[in-house]
Chains A and B, each alone.
Chain A
Amino acid sequence: MDTKETVLSILSDLTGSDLSNNMDENLFDDGLLDSMGSVQLLLQIQSEMGISVPVSEFVRSEWDTPNKIIAKVDSMK
């Protein structure tokens, strides 16, 4: 599986909605993600992809849309 697919499947688990058609939707503004969800996202990325992201790397403005998350994860591979 590539990054995009994995991230989208994690996100759909977390938010309960399919985001493949809304790749630039702001997840925090829409209330789909909050601090709790962000931590779950980081943990899932770690367990499913083996990439560990420290909490202080998590700057909301860099992780607020599916596209940005994918780019961020790719950059940390």
Chain B
Amino acid sequence: MLSFTPYENPTYFVILGIALIPLVIGLLYGKRSHLYETLVSLAFLLLTFGGPKWSTQGVALVVYIIFEMLLTWGYSVYRKRGQNKGYIFYFAVILAILPLTIVKVTPAVDGGNNSLIGFLGISYLTFRAVQTIMEIRDGTIKNFSLKIFIPFMLFFPTISSGPIDRYRRFEGDFTTVPDQDKYLKMLGKGLHYIFLGFLYKFLLAYFFGTILMPKLAHTAMIHRGGFLDLSWSVLGYMYCYSADLFFDFAGYSLFAVGISYFMGIETPMNFNRPWQSKNIKDFWNRWHITLSFWFRDFIFMRLVFWFMKHKTFKKPTTTSNVVYFINMGIMGFWHGVTWFYITYGLFHAAALIINDAWLRYKKKHQDSIPHNKFTEYFAIFFTANVVCFSFLIFSGFLNTLWFTK
């Protein structure tokens, strides 16, 4: 049976293109057929999780979806009755992230074996589920409906790696049809994104990741033995890996957004020129945006809110510094339970704290600190290098460099 990793080869795009034709024609004439959308989604979910992957991933996905469905639905019924106990809410959130936690922790405690309940995209689905529960609690989602929730969770263009959409935003697009003029614009943009994605993923990421990176890794391994086993090749690897990471992920995200547009859903963008960031905070507004905003809205702001409301810390800066560490620590942990992912998270927390302190200092001494074109370029250059260094940690290459024979 046919089986694909999403967006991996031309055949996938050809099949996808053909499957989308009736849907596009429908939307052009102002019709949205949820039945056809469901059939296409099912077909592509089967292509991704069926066939040879059915027993290792497909079953896990089905069980997971049923579990999250019952949980959110149950919680929404509870809230509709007007009840709102804190512990019930915490319990629901804990249950919602439990499968993901098991999947992430299993390899670390079980000698590298992968958990049986994992499947491609579980973390992205968890983000969507947790977010829904939180908004049900806040009352911002008032009319929770499984008819929206299931297509939202299983929206196939973004199922494997995001972007992470929001329930209310998705609901708005999913239950309406864009007018013809707007939809034509979306088609144009969508196609543009997809082709930009080809350039990113199949040319640039291929060049950096498949052609250049192994060579740099090889020479870096040969030149071990110096201070911390470092060499110029490690530096080259750092930039090369960063370029590969960006073009691969941004390319993938462009596909996901482009295909969403074809389906009349304006999935939010994941990247916005991250290499032009002025500082590390700016970077997180431009890099993997839907993830960082998710963390901002559902972890950072809520924790800050909670700490300040309970006046846990005296100074607001202490609060924000502590929450940076928790927030980025969780993000690191989410990538996987290895020293380099967690270090990566903590590194970014430290960078954000330093950045905040610098901005405060700068504000106070506005008159004595120069600000011109040069300092702006320097800030961009400096930020990009800090980021690339953090990606070197993230890549796990230092682990290979230091701890393999």
Contact = CB atoms under 8 A, between A and B. Distances in A.
Given a CB threshold of 8 Å, the question of whether A touches B is answered with: yes
Given A43-B309, A56-B297, A36 B304 contact: yes
Interface in A32-62: 34-36, 38-40, 42-43, 54-58
Contacts of B320: 36
Interface string B108-137: 000000000000000000000000001100
Nearest to A39: B304
B301 A55 contact: yes
3 closest A-B pairs (Cβ-Cβ)?
A54-B138, A56-B138, A39-B304
A24 B359 CA distance: 24
A5 to B, nearest CB: 23
A10 B139 CA distance: 26
B180 interface: no
Interface string B299-336: 01110110011000000100110000000000000000
Contact of A55 (B281, B305, B319): B305
Contacts of A43: 305, 308-309
A35 B300 contact: yes
Which DSSP category, helix, strand, loop or mixed, fits chain B's interface?
helix
6 contacts: A35-B296, A36-B319, A39-B301, A55-B138, A55-B297, A56-B134
A35 B138 contact: no
Interface residues of B, number: 20
Given A39-B308, A40-B308, A58 B316 contact: no
Contacts of A56: 134-135, 138, 140, 297
A59 B359 CA distance: 24
Interface string A9-41: 000000010000000000000010011101110
Interface of A: 16, 31, 34-36, 38-40, 42-43, 54-58
A34 B323 CA distance: 14
B304 A54 contact: no
Given A36-B319, A55-B301, A57-B138, 15 more contacts: A35-B296, A39-B301, A39-B308, A43-B305, A43-B308, A54-B138, A54-B139, A55-B138, A55-B297, A55-B302, A55-B305, A56-B134, A56-B135, A56-B138, A58-B301
Task: With a 10 A CB-CB cut-off, give which of A16, A36, A39 has the most chain B CB atoms.
Answer: A39
Which DSSP category, helix, strand, loop or mixed, fits chain A's interface?
helix
A57 B139 CA distance: 9
Nearest to B308: A43
Contacts of B300: 35
B268 to A, nearest CB: 12
B359 A42 contact: no
B305 A39 contact: yes
Interface string B352-380: 00000001000100000000000000000
Contacts of A42: 305
Nearest to A57: B140
Given A39-B305, A42-B305, A55-B305, A34 B139 contact: no
Contact of A34 (B135, B140, B281, B363): B281
A26 to B, nearest CB: 13
Contacts of B316: 36, 40
Interface string B264-306: 0000000000000000010000000000000011001110110
A43 B134 CA distance: 19
A54 B134 CA distance: 10
A44 to B, nearest CB: 10
Task: With a 10 A CB-CB cut-off, give which of B135, B304, B308 has the most chain A CB atoms.
Answer: B304
Contacts of A54: 138-140
Nearest to B323: A36
A31 B282 CA distance: 10
A38 B309 contact: no
Contacts of A16: 363
Contacts of B135: 56
A43 B135 CA distance: 18
A38 B134 CA distance: 18
Nearest to B363: A16
A35 B135 CA distance: 18
Contacts of A58: 297, 301
